Amino acid sequence: MSGVLVLGGYGNFGKRIAELLVRQGIEVTIAGRDGARAEASVAALGAPDIKIAIFDIERDLAGALEGIAPAVVIDTVGPFQQRGYDAARACIVRKIHYIDLSDGRDYVGGITALDAEAYENDVLVVSGASTVPALTSAVVEHFLPRFSAVDFLDFGIAPGQRAERGLATTEAILGYVGKSLRPCAGYPHRHGWQDLHRQRYPDLGQRWMANCDVPDLDLLPPRYGISRVRFSAGMELAPLHVGLWGLSWLVRAGLPIKLDRFAQPMLAISNLLNGFGSADGGMHVLIEGRGQDGQPLSTGWFIVAKNGHGPYIPAVPSVVLATQLVTGALELRGAHPCVGLVSLEDYLAVLQHLDVSTFEVPGAA
């Protein structure tokens, strides 16, 4: 076995993962159902050594794994909540490492159900190898030695309007807009895309933010002893962000609206407005607590990506882990959420050739 098979390898995140893996010197095969899109993606990357495998992931994955025999599979084909763990199990029984980019709260936390089977077959299974929870936990672990206790973690993502957006991510968000979200530490009552507020970013200015649901809300508080945690996301254009906030109230009022059914046309409408926004986005992680001296301490960490480079950020954790598995540098086995598995140093090293900057702002929380 050798190399990495990227399921959905010509999609929004898949093609970036393939590009970054090639930069790491890793053999890559991209897979999906559309041969024309796959060939166009390879041509656009200018990496003719990338192999292409065309098959239906839902029906033909097992046979494809037998024929391709990769060392690692990276799964980018969401929404994962609708697919279950069949792909991970297909990899486990063939002793192939598996990594996915899910950001589903239950899905990522539930991956530990495969832990014993993964150990038995000497493979690593990782769910949530994306910005959340991989980058969030990397930032928290970087700053944690400064704190004796963390009282509040406030973090969020604000992509640029012209940054490429995926349909699966849009469907996942629309699936909980206006709906009651499961309580998290310090916030017993939350609804999707509500609690409207503004967040200031270095170089970007103010961005609107609203509640979103991510696995970090369950995973980070018990691991790091965090008393309160809040995650939010936002769209750069105020009319789009506030408009979705308005729709959230209709859903919350009980109207039988299934917004995720309209994900494709809503995404198309959003794309028509790209000329009014930028290709610049960011993420913030604000930490409040007490320092090692027992005194109040707060800090803010920001990552800002310009010129459309934001979608590379969610691609990084799977690239780091897959590279370490292929080269034998990572010996961890079992099934784990992607919490504390990628260091901030390793994360940023993959992004250093891109228009990506980080900022530490003491007292910003």
Judge if 15 and 124 occupy the same domain: yes
Whether residues 276 and 239 share a domain: the answer is: yes
List the domain range (segments joined by +) for residue 111: 4-130+312-351
Decide which of 82 and 55 is more confident: 55
pLDDT bin (cut points 50, 70, 90) of residue 80 is confident
Give me the CATH number covering residue 17.
3.40.50.720
268 plus 162 within the same structural domain: yes
* pLDDT tens per residue across span 118-128: 999 999 999 99
Q: What is the pLDDT of residues 230-287, one digit of tens each?
A: 999 999 999 999 999 999 999 999 999 999 999 999 999 999 999 999 999 999 999 9
Please name the residues in contact with 84: beta carbons below 8 A apart, sequence gap of 6 or more.
Answer: none
Structural domain count, the chain: 2
| pLDDT the model gives residue 365 | 64
Asked whether residue 286 falls in the same domain as residue 207, the answer is: yes
| The predicted structure's pLDDT at residue 76 | 95
148 and 54, same structural domain? no
User: Are both 189 and 236 inside the same structural domain?
Assistant: yes
Task: Give the pLDDT band of residue 47 (cuts 50, 70, 90).
Answer: confident
Phi, psi at 121, each rounded to 5°: -100, 10
Are both 176 and 276 inside the same structural domain?
yes
- The CATH number for 139's domain is 3.30.360.10
pLDDT band at 187; cut points 50, 70, 90: very high
Query: Do 159 and 233 have their domain in common?
Result: yes
Q: What is the pLDDT of residue 165?
A: 79
Is residue 88 scored above 70 in pLDDT?
Answer: yes
Residue 299 has pLDDT above 70, yes or no: yes
Query: Do residues 216 and 358 share a domain?
Result: yes
| 137 and 227 inside one domain | yes
- Mean pLDDT, rounded, for 308-331: 97
Percent of residues, the chain, with pLDDT higher than 70 = 100
Verify that 47 and 190 share a domain, yes or no.
no
Per-residue pLDDT tens over the stretch 132-158: 999 999 999 999 999 999 999 999 999
Q: Are residues 214 and 318 both part of a single domain?
A: no
More confident residue, 45 or 332: 332
